[in-house]
Amino acid sequence: MLVQLPPSPAMRREPWTVLGDDGPVAPTEPYQAHLTNIERSPNTVRAYPHDLTEWFVFLARQGLDWQEAQMEADASLLNMYSRRARYPMNRVPMARPSDHTMAEDLDPYVDQRVSTELIRGAVVRRVPIEVHGVYPAHFNLVATALGRRVQQSLGSNQQPDKILNGVRPELFKAHDPYGQELLCIAVPPGHDYVTHYASLVAHAMSRYTRPTGQLLRVWHYPDAEHAIAEWTGLNESLVNGAETVVLGKIELLSDILGSVGYHRIEHQATPYYDASTFSRPRGRRVTLLGVRFSYWGSIGGRLARQCCNLGAREIIYVGKLGTLDEPKDIYNRLFVPSRYGLLSGIRVRQVSDGPPNLLLDRVPALDSGLHVSVPTVLEEDHAQREVARLLGARTMDNELAQMALAVHEWNIDTGGSVSFSGLHYATDYLRCREETDVEVPYSLARGRSLEACRKRRRAERLIGYCLCSYFADKEVAAA
């Protein structure tokens, strides 16, 4: 079984063909045509035939018919979403720009991440908005089980050519069992991610009306989140016996590993992950684990714990965060926290020294002290920043501490000693109340300008240099 390309570059928007022994595999053709018709990115149109090929090869080896297998898969999926919990509106964070650490950048930040025009139209027509913690590709099936009739997908803000961390919440036009029109939003199932996205929707709605439980309904699906590592297939074949697993911004690392003598020995692509394993003579084995969906907040902790279960002895998470120190840190400094905390609003949930940190042992000058993670961006107001300052925090994001503390708890539970290191650069500065009028050149809302992109690439080169030296077992200079 193989994948046949469209006959010419001019036709690359046409469906690619999965070929079996007797010609095209019929069940795959309509779905691939659908992907093309709804203008999914060329990368998506190209990737799915390969995934479908692996699936049909597996079924053939097992002697299974695809329809029977699909019925079993559907039943398992619906069981995973069978338990849901309504999230009360009074627990969805809200903030005014004047009270928020982003100040005037808050509204543009929200506008970049939610479909404000669709939300405005729903509010004007009194159409209820539902936010579901359901992986977007699962939503049609789950919605049917819930009595929702999906009419059409209204798209998402997914960046077309972004292969990793690219699955974003997707909007759907639907009707409830009584014929009431609904605007439904499917968000990958994680408590923090669903709450975060619901807060963005509520903020957009607040420009036209006061969000209430009648107009905005939010549901979490705890079983789907708890088992996310299992149903997405994060297993031994992806980690592949690696001592070190690198998550996050891994795109810049393949060439770097090659420059210090590592060779790629295996590559696997699935609908949820893209993993490459490298090794070198007498060197460690390193897996770059790319994740196609956003592992915001609590999801990140679950994936980190699963990497521990699969035998990783070291986890490195490469990413970005917000600095509480000073605006000039943005894109100019690297951060490796040594302590971690979790906040929800102004409530301190946990503060800990965290697991071993082999990267910091090598480069203690990069120690940036306490890092705190919070569930949502909307709650990052002046009151929360003050609590973080009193704790001694110097940086903040939404998942780094979740991942570190998940590894720490795994070590306690099992008697293990897995190392965890976060290696990050800053993309924004969290203003305190007295700094509302302070001009900050870059922020989460202004990170896509040409100058910001240039500085971001420089910061990523610094990370590359640091990891290049680290994996080559050389001394690493502090950035």
Residues 303-328 have pLDDT tens digits of 999 999 999 999 999 999 999 999 99
Instruction: Calculate mean pLDDT across residues 89-104.
Output: 93
pLDDT band at 68 (very low <50, low <70, confident <90, very high): low
The CA distance from 405 to 401, in Å, is 6
In terms of domains, do 254 and 372 share one?
yes
8 Å CB contact between 17 and 4: yes
**Domain stop point among 170, 201, 225:** 225
Quickly list H helices, 210-357.
222-226, 228-231, 236-239, 253-259, 298-309
State yes or no: pLDDT of 2 exceeds 50.
no
Mean of the per-residue pLDDT values of the chain: 87
State yes or no: pLDDT of 3 exceeds 50.
no
Q: According to the model, what pLDDT value does residue 387 have? A: 98
pLDDT band at 235 (very low <50, low <70, confident <90, very high): very high
Inside any domain, residue 185:
yes
Q: According to the model, what pLDDT value does residue 48 have? A: 61
In terms of domains, do 49 and 105 share one?
no
The CA distance from 62 to 69, in Å, is 10
In terms of domains, do 272 and 375 share one?
yes
Q: According to the model, what pLDDT value does residue 165 have? A: 87
Residue 473 CA neighbour count, 13 Å, CB half: 6
In terms of domains, do 214 and 274 share one?
no
The proportion of the chain whose per-residue pLDDT surpasses 70, expressed as a percent, equals 83
Structure-block tokens of residue 304: 């980190």
In terms of domains, do 12 and 93 share one?
no
8 Å CB contact between 326 and 220: no
Q: According to the model, what pLDDT value does residue 401 have? A: 98
Instruction: Calculate mean pLDDT across residues 159-177.
Output: 87
Give the torsion sign (CA, 117, 118, 123, 124): positive
The residue segments making up the domain with residue 146 are: 83-225
pLDDT band at 363 (very low <50, low <70, confident <90, very high): very high
The proportion of the chain whose per-residue pLDDT surpasses 90, expressed as a percent, equals 69
Centre a 10 Å sphere on the Cβ of residue 136 and count the other Cβ atoms it contains.
Answer: 21
Instruction: Calculate mean pLDDT across residues 124-134.
Output: 97
Residue 177 CA neighbour count, 13 Å, CB half: 4
Q: According to the model, what pLDDT value does residue 74 have? A: 76
State yes or no: pLDDT of 102 exceeds 70.
yes
Q: Is 280 helix (H, G, I), strand (E, B) or coil?
A: coil
**Domain stop point among 193, 225, 257:** 225
Q: 319: Cβ–Cβ under 8 A, 6 or more apart, which residues?
A: 248, 249, 397, 400, 422, 424
Instruction: Calculate mean pLDDT across residues 292-296.
Output: 94
Give the range among 201-210, 290-299, 438-447 with minimum mean pLDDT.
438-447
**Domain stop point among 178, 203, 225:** 225
Give the range among 18-22, 250-254, 259-263, 425-429 with minimum mean pLDDT.
18-22
Q: According to the model, what pLDDT value does residue 159 have? A: 66
* Number of domains, the chain: 3
Q: According to the model, what pLDDT value does residue 207 have? A: 92
In terms of domains, do 221 and 235 share one?
no
Q: According to the model, what pLDDT value does residue 36 have? A: 66
The CA distance from 205 to 40, in Å, is 28
Q: According to the model, what pLDDT value does residue 118 have? A: 96
Structure-block tokens of residue 449: 């300008």
Instruction: Calculate mean pLDDT across residues 15-44.
Output: 59
State yes or no: pLDDT of 246 exceeds 90.
yes
State yes or no: pLDDT of 226 exceeds 90.
yes
In terms of domains, do 259 and 320 share one?
yes
pTM to 2 decimal places: 0.84
State yes or no: pLDDT of 108 exceeds 90.
yes
